[in-house]
Structure 1
Amino acid sequence: METTTAEFFHDFRQELLAGAEASSSFQLSEFVETIANELIETGFLEGFELCHYRAQRGMRVDGYWFNDEGALDLFIADFDCRDNLESLTKTEVDGAFKRLSNFFEASKKKELFRDLEETAPEYGLSRQVYDRGRSISKVNFFLISERALSGRISSLEDDVVGDTKASYHIWDISRLQRQRSSRGHKEILDINFPDLYGSGISCLPAHLGSDAYQSYLIVIPAVILSSLYERYGARLLEQNVRCFLQARGNVNKGIRATIMNEPRMFFAYNNGITATAQEVEVRKGEQGLEIVRIKDFQIVNGGQTTASLFHTNRKDKASLEGIFVQMKLSVIDSEKSEEVVPRISEYANTQNRVNAADFFSNHPFHIRMEEFSRRIWAPAQQGAQRETKWFYERARGQYADAQSKLTPSEKKRFQAENPKPQMFTKTDLAKFENVWDENPRFVNLGAQKNFAQYAKRIGGEWEKSSEAFSEFYYKRAIARAIIFRKTEKLVSAQPWYNGGYRANVVAYTLALLGYYASQKNKSIDFLRVWNSQSVSPDLERALEITSELVHDDIIQPQQGISNVTEWCKKDGCWQRLKGRSIELDEALPQKFKDNLVSNDVVRNEKKEAKKVQKIDDGIEAQRKVLEISGPQWHIIMQKCDQKGILTEKEAGIMKLASRIPHKIPTEKQSAVLIEVLQKAKMEGISLNGQ
């Protein structure tokens, strides 16, 4: 049965109350950050920084982010802890956006920062808007509301605020509900080319026969591709490509040089892009067939080309006129898109020798973490009778999907076993882990960039030793999640906290505490946290002391840097904080120090867990091998022989596998056979030998 908007509002409100303290200021922050995280997960935003500021002069702001495209995202919240779903009118929408644009204009033109308290978050934001001035290419105004938008508002036109291009985005409770319930859990792009650019785009059909899926070859003008990227940003890029671009960062120098020096040769030099869509609308035009509409357009290979065209045009003022890009567009229906699109992305990018760690969405690391989270029960918290699980969302929307077909009583049971506050995503995991592994600066770069760095690091470590990612690793990750989320609440409750920089303070607090312990060749006792599913009073006190020291340090950036958030992204910030770990020694409670565990103990625990994981991996490999019959192995072996892809050792083990069930491969031999299957798959040989 479909949930009404009013029911969704009620559920969402309970979710907020569970995640926040009782005070309305906590609820406001929780509301803003919940929506922002949703938009980050689905590619609307790169990151988000909380910043609540209200002034008598008709100005307000609740958050911001300076993104890589030279644009500024500014947020205003319409939130009043309402008990029931109410309507949001056009007058109220206009009023909210006016307050936000007043703040932007006063910051950019009237030196508003001079009237603000230097240690306050709004000072850093206002000062940075002023300092960046004309280099802000665009401002995106976001209104996020707990109310439902009046049906009379369809869309808001882009315009200019001061001399800066401005766009307006409303995220009300109805839009949030649509986003969460849509397949793939992202709002689908629906691009109408005649509406946007005055005409369709010429294409050639590349599909043959009625059974083949639709595909088209297109030569797309670079001006249009760049304009689409400016309009939709990272939402155009399939998640794996987005991760890859975040990890790589810079504009491709070769692409830039061609645009600048040999624009006419761009089509000849560039490999073009690969894209997918759920639906494509074509019509007969004056010059043949043309595409007029693409639904759920995603670039799965060529993100670097697209971003480089945009940046070179904007930063270097290079003309894109006369530059064309070849595009292969495949139409994949929504039922298959979640499975097929990432695969197209993986294969298309394999040809460019991109490290597999960069394409992390379907990495076996995630599959293992998901398996642990579905299997391992967390100990019951003190006073609770019931054990629970921590639900890892390997793919977006799994938590909602797992409940979608349950009866009310089954749903209640599921939520009791998997409480919503114990659900965590890939970007959450990257945050929990990176702060402890001396990478706090990455956490301050925003969720997407931090995830990209984590993916790169873990991908490399997995290649070296996948057994290191054991039950111990999983339990330690959950303990880190418990400490991270507790620290967020503690910081918000401190008397010195003024509503800003919480994310920065939390990241550096945990990093500094971890660094302090490592200097003594010790570690936080994460298994103790896992076993109690809570933070002990001595650790809590240590977090409070460390967070105050961190806060006092970061609000005094190095000379020449006016914005605390920008300072927190620099390595100098972390290096300076590490120098203050000596002060912690005097301030931290003795009981906290006594409860640190020796690194030797931790190493032994890891070693034992690694051995167990190795055995588990062997058993799992053997199970998969035995699911395939001897005759099937024989057919696969013949096909592999024909293509000459087997080593002598692999051929010998394949012979043995072809005699299943009379001969059973060992766990070690099974691991080799699994690798052979992967190799065969890459050569187009399927499991049944066809």
Structure 2
Amino acid sequence: MISLEEFHQDFLQSIISDADSRGLMRPQAFFENICEELVSTGDLTTNYTAAEYIKNGVEVYGYDYDEERRILSVLVHQFFQEDEIETLTKNHIKTKFNRLKTFIKKSLQGLWNEMEETSEAYLLAYDMHRNVQNKLIDKFRLIILTDGKVTRSISEIPNDSIEGINCEHQIIDINYLYSIFMAENGTGSYEIDLNIPYLAVNNPSNEYQSYLGIMDGEQLFKIYDEYGQKLLEQNVRTFLQFRGGVNKGIRNTIQYKPDMFFAYNNGITATATKVETKNGYITKITDFQIVNGGQTTSAIYAAKKNSKMDISNVSVQMKLSVVNNIEKKSDFVSSVSQYANTQNKINKSDFFSNSPFHKEMKDYSKRIWVPTQGGTQRRTHWFYERVRGEYLNEQAYLTRAKKTQFENENPRSQLIEKTFLAKSENSWDRKPHIVSKGAQYSFGEFANSVTDTLEKNHLAITESYFKDAIARVILFRRTEKLVSDAPWYENAFRAQTVTYSIALLSHTVNKKKLFFDFTSIWDNQRLPIELEELMKVITKLVYEKITDPPAGSANIAQWCKKEECWNDVCNITIDIKPIMKLFKDKEEVRYEKKSDKQKKELDNGIEIQAFVIQTNIEVWIQLYGYYSNFRSLSLTQRDILKKYADGRIPFPSEKQSKVLYALYQRAVKEGWEALSI
């Protein structure tokens, strides 16, 4: 198991590498990395925004507004960047919280009048004042982010208030980040205390235990009020407000017939890793996840929070499945989500975690060597990280020598996370307004796009795609550095400038019906000098355009999230003649795609044959027994499976292997698992 100290070292190195490769200051990279982590766990919403403002007695680095729960989180950090884990002392904590409170108080008194209108902190101060005036903030949450650990002498920080608004305090330290890492890798957890009457359901499966329970509206309200999006972390959709017919029906039932809610509503479907019971009541649930019923939960919450409705007579049925094998927790939750959600339209991105895209990218990242540079003979890979922590986990049980070899072959500077890949790909796909909505939102759009592509062509993710995608990552990172180093850059709206600049380049190329050749970027692992010079011009033009929004759109960050902003940027004219050598013609593109497809078909066929032959014959005997139990197969499928299980096909052909492999995958998806041999 990875220790806290090992995690801290890895975390610190990832910050340093991220900052160096993207042209960020290390504290900026630290802030962004932690916030993205907290968004993925539901501790922050996708609305979080960087907003640095430091003066005497005042300090803030960013904020997040949870519109549904009306909570404004204001963030500050203490980044030690030391090899050993430092301690966040009482004095540190007191100073940081006091400086945050001073910022809030001054903002409510008109601090924005002293700021530059184009700064991100101006937007924070102005919006905070406006939302308080309009009674749209019920709670302030003051958060300290740190790579240190909180002193043991502090177990709780009492709440207080600012201008009559409740004020909570929270510290996200290295221990908290470590617990997130352990949870994502199947060993961490959180617990919820409650009191729900239940019935245990007899279940022959040893994979999970099921319960039927009844939760009243007040209990559900309190749980969601405390944990928010954390409960819906792996849920397949978020609250759609009262716009759809389903949600209007929920609201009307709560308002006019609350006693009929149990009869009218399907309730919630949830998963957990552990429950505790006493006298016919569930008293504690570990890792509670609402995988179906997010609308029901949010509707009940909004009914009381926003409309002041009485929810005391609302009863909600709950189907709770507790997974027994913690290692299969992620797959179990995903499967329950997929089959439980049939009420409303589900986005393709909802189940993207199981997409073959990840397997393809992972396979290529392990197999393809990066071209050597500068005379060095050392070969390296780009490491694709589908799940946060994979890079560290793959080193967990290596010897010191093997770990050194792994790090040499997979340098941290060549680690690419799925959300960063999504930002890069969406930018080139001319969706900068989507990227500007945040990493998680951008990833959802990317997942939809990839799924559509794979549905049309399951061979779309080729070796050439992998290399081109990495080249676009290199383009994105280098553009970030160019903006950071530009004399005109004023430390604001860097992210928006980068995504819009890359999108504008792509738009110009596409408009002229040209095809960009990323080969030179991949071969040299850097941008050609002509492209760098052009990006310097583009980024300046884009920055000037997006920071001068039309009347009525003074909030630049919000303006950049709108398609109208992208349409406006598309009007910028750029000259791409200096990079004409970086394009290829239509016939060349068509030939390469055909060649890639043929090569992949051959590779896939060989891989499938190898899998079938290398899998123990006893597994195929068990599989035949599984399908013999009333499961329909075509005559051809049954004949091939029976003959292979009987040993009458010593070396299956490519076609026979594809049939056997498809039957194996189908059975696994249905929950079948071969007994130990």
Matched-pair contact (CA < 8 Å) for 2:186–2:327: no
Tell me how far 1:668 sits from its aligned partner. Answer: 4.3
Partner of 1:321: 312
Q: Distance in 1 between matches of 2:23 and 2:591?
A: 46
Which structure 2 segments of 5+ residues have no match? none
Q: Deviations over 1:242-283 (max 9, x none)?
A: xx3269798654134223344333222222222222222222
Q: Quote the residue 1:432 is aligned against.
A: 424
Q: Distance in 2 between matches of 1:431 and 1:173?
A: 27
The residue that corresponds to 1:101 in the other structure is 101
Post-superposition offset of 1:660 = 5.7
1: CA distance, partners of 2:308 / 2:244? 16
Q: Structure 1 residue 306 and structure 2 residue 293: aligned?
A: no
Measured on the aligned residues, the alpha-carbon RMSD in Å equals 3.4
- Return the match for 1:516 from 504, 508, 513: 508
Q: Which of 573, 595, 598 is equivalent to 1:611?
A: 598
Which deviates further from its counterpart, 491-500 or 254-263? 254-263
Amino acid corresponding to residue 645 of structure 1 in structure 2: S
Q: Distance in 2 between matches of 1:570 and 1:351?
A: 30
Q: Distance in 2 between matches of 1:250 and 1:371?
A: 44
State the SS of the aligned residue for 2:237: helix
The answer for the alignment partner of 2:278 in structure 1 is: 283
Residues of 1 paired with 2:671 and 2:478: CA distance?
Answer: 49
Report the CA distance between 1:128 and its aligned residue: 2.5
Q: Corresponding residue for 1:51?
A: 51
2:193 and 2:284 in contact (8 A); partners too:
yes
Alpha-carbon displacement from aligned partner over 1:195-232 (angstroms, at most 9, x marks no partner):
xxxxx222223356996854322111223223322322
Counterpart of 1:139 in 2: which secondary structure? strand
- The aligned amino acid for 1:215 is S
Distance 2:22 2:232 in 1: 39
- Out of 218, 237, 248, the residue aligned to residue 223 of structure 1 is 218
Task: Give the counterpart letter for 1:537 in structure 2.
Answer: I
Gaps of 5+ in 1: 194-199
| Cα deviation, residue 49, structure 1 | 2.4
Partner of 1:296: 287
The verdict on how the C-alpha distance between 1:337 and 1:681 changes in structure 2, with shifts beyond 3 A counting, is closer
Corresponding residue of 1:132:
131
Distance 1:687 1:317, change over 3 A: same
Contact 1:441–1:568 under 8 Å retained in 2 = yes
Q: Which residue of 1 aligns with 2:557?
A: 565
CA displacement at 1:64 relative to structure 2: 2.2
Does the CA contact (< 8 Å) of 1:215 and 1:329 recur in 2?
A: yes
Match 2:232 to one of 220, 233, 237: 237
Q: CA deviation at 1:158?
A: 4.3
Rounded to whole Å, the distance in 2 between the matches of 1:662 and 1:92 is 71
CA deviations 1:629-685 (Å, max 9, x no partner) are: 889768856865774633566556657756765376543454444444455556666
Aligned residues of 1:218 and 1:326 also touching (Cα < 8 A):
yes
Q: Could you tell me how far apart the structure 2 residues matched to 1:381 and 1:162 are?
A: 60
- What is the CA-CA distance between 1:117 and the residue it aligns to? 0.8
Counterpart secondary structure, 2:352: coil
Distance verdict in 2 for CA 1:10–1:395, change over 3 Å: closer
1:349 counterpart = 2:341: yes
Matches within 5 A, 1:208-219: 213-219=208-214
TM-score, length of structure 1 as denominator length: 0.87
Report the CA distance between 1:441 and its aligned residue.
Answer: 1.5
Distance 2:251 2:22 in 1: 54
Bigger mean CA offset, 340-349 vs 373-382: 340-349
Check conservation: 2:507, 2:570, Cα contact below 8 A: yes
Task: Give the 3 Å change call, closer, same or farther, for CA 680–251 of structure 1 in structure 2.
Answer: farther
Range with greater deviation from structure 2 (633-642 or 545-554): 633-642
| Equivalent residues in 2 for 1:388-399, closer than 5 Å | 388-399=380-391
CA-to-partner distance for each residue in 1:152-206, whole Å, 9 max, x for gaps? Answer: 112334444334443322112333344335562796322223xxxxxx2222233
Q: Secondary structure at the match of 1:435?
A: helix
1:63 Cα deviation from its structure 2 partner: 1.6
Q: Distance in 2 between matches of 1:64 and 1:678?
A: 45
Q: Which amino acid aligns with 2:167?
A: A
Asked whether the equivalents of residues 467 and 611 of structure 1 are also in contact (C-alpha less than 8 Å), the reply is no
Letter in 2 for 1:556: D
Letter in 2 for 1:417: E
How much has 1:566 moved relative to structure 2?
Answer: 0.6
Which residue of 2 is the match for residue 197 of structure 1?
none
The worse-fitting range, judged by mean Cα deviation, of 75-84 and 262-271 is 75-84
What residue is the counterpart of 2:169 in the other structure? 168
Q: Quote how far apart the aligned CAs of 1:144 are.
A: 0.9
Offset, 1:346: 3.3
Greater CA deviation, 69-78 or 397-406?
69-78
Deviation at 1:510, TM superposition (A): 1.0
CA distance in 2, matches of 1:612, 1:140: 54
Aligned-partner SS, 1:361:
helix
Q: What is the correspondence of 1:377-388 to structure 2 with a 5 Å cutoff?
A: 377-388=369-380
Structure 1 residues 51 and 160, CA gap change in structure 2 (3 angstroms): same
Deviation at residue 406 of structure 1 after TM alignment: 1.2
CA distance in 1: counterparts of 2:205 and 2:190, whole angstroms? 27
Structure 2 residue matching 1:468: 3-state secondary structure: coil
Report how far residue 151 of structure 1 moved.
0.7
SS of the residue 2:487 aligns to = coil
The amino acid of 1:295's aligned partner reads T
Mapped to 2, the partners of 1:304 and 1:82 lie a distance apart of 44
Q: Which residue of 1 aligns with 2:198?
A: 203
* TM-score (normalizing by structure 2): 0.89
CA distance in 2, matches of 1:145, 1:202: 41
Encode CA deviations 1:89-121: one digit per residue, 9 max, x unaligned. Answer: 2232132122223323333x3232222111222
Distance 1:247 1:538 in 2: 47
The Cα shift of 1:341 comes to: 3.1
Report the secondary structure of 1:467's partner residue: coil
**8 Å contact 2:22–2:480 — kept in the other structure?**
no
CA 1:152 to 1:547, structure 2 compared with 1: closer, same or farther past 3 Å? same
Separation (CA, whole Å) in 1 of partners of 2:469 and 2:483: 21
> Quick one: structure 1 residues 211 and 429, their matched pair in 2 at CA, closer, same or farther if it must change by over 3 Å?
closer
Deviations along 1:452-507, one digit per CA (max 9) or x if unpaired, are: 12112211221221101111111111111111122222212222222221211111
CA contact (8 A) 1:469 1:610 kept: no
Q: Find out whether 1:597 has 2:598 as its counterpart.
A: no
Q: How many residues align?
A: 669
Distance across 2 between alignment mates of 1:247 and 1:626: 48
Equivalent residue number for residue 465 of structure 1:
457
The secondary structure found in structure 2 opposite 1:535 is: coil
Distance 1:168 1:608, change over 3 A: farther
Relative distance call for 1:237 and 1:482 in structure 2 (3 A) is same
Query: Are 2:148 and 1:147 equivalent residues in the alignment?
Result: yes
Comparing 599-608 with 293-302, which one deviates more in the overlay?
A: 599-608
Q: 1:593 to 1:250 in 2, by over 3 A?
A: farther
Which range is displaced more, 144-153 or 38-47? Answer: 38-47
Q: Which residue of structure 1 lines up, in the alignment, with residue 609 of structure 2?
A: 622
User: Does 348-357 or 317-326 show the bigger shift?
Assistant: 348-357
CA distance in 1, matches of 2:547, 2:592: 39
Comparing 13-22 and 541-550, the one that deviates more: 13-22
Residues 40-92 of structure 1: CA distance to partner in whole angstroms, max 9, x if unpaired? 33332233422211123x32211223345343332111236557643222232
Which shifted more, 469-478 or 672-681? 672-681
Task: Call closer, same or farther: CA 1:189–1:397 in 2, change over 3 Å.
Answer: same
Give the 3-state SS of the residue equivalent to 1:75 in structure 2: strand
Q: Which residue of 1 aligns with 2:86?
A: 86
- Report the Cα distance in structure 1 between the residues aligned to 2:189 and 2:457, rounded to whole angstroms: 38
Give the equivalent residue in structure 1 for 2:116: 117
- One-letter code aligned to 2:496: N
